[in-house]
Amino acid sequence: MMIKDQSGTQNKGVSTSMQSHFDSEPLPTMTRLLEGFLNIPSVILMFIRDHLVNISAHTLGLMCIILLHLASVPTLLAVLTGQSDKMPPVDIMLFVWAGLTTIFFKSLFERNYLYIATNCLGFVAQTVLMSLILFK
C-alpha cells in the first residue's frame, strides 16, 4: 500500500506520522542512566576547567600559611592535655617558623594585609600554646 505524504512523495506501508512517532520515542531509563554515568569524567573535567582554575595564587598562599601554622598544633595540644610528653622536634619547628617569618616579611614588603594578619594570629596562637605548656 502506497501512502503519499504532504510533500507528495510516496512511502511504502508506514505513514509519516508513524515515522515521526518512532523517531521521537524517548530513550529507555537505563540507557539514559548509562549515558549519564559515562558523562561523569567530562563533567568533572568541565568543573575543574571552569571553577578550580579560578583559584588564585593568593588563595594558595593563604592556605599554605594556615597549614604551616596548624602543623604543630596537634602535638602541642597533646602535650598540653597530658596525652603525650614528647614535644615536636625542634628542627622542624625552627624550619616552619623560619618559613612563616619569611612569608611574613614578604607580605610586609608587598603590603598584603591579609597575609600579615593571618601570620600574626598564627604566631600569637602558637606562642600562647607554647607558653601554656612551659608554665603549666
Rounded Cα distance, 73 and 117, in Å:
19
Tell me the per-residue pLDDT of 30-79, one tens digit each, with 9 for 90 and over: 787 778 778 888 888 888 788 776 777 788 888 888 998 888 888 888 88
Angle among Cα 108, 112, 117 to the nearest 5 degrees reads 85
Angle among Cα 74, 75, 80 to the nearest 5 degrees reads 95
Q: Taking a C-beta distance cutoff of 8 angstroms, is the pair 115, 104 a contact? A: yes
Q: Band the pLDDT of 136: cuts 50, 70, 90.
A: confident
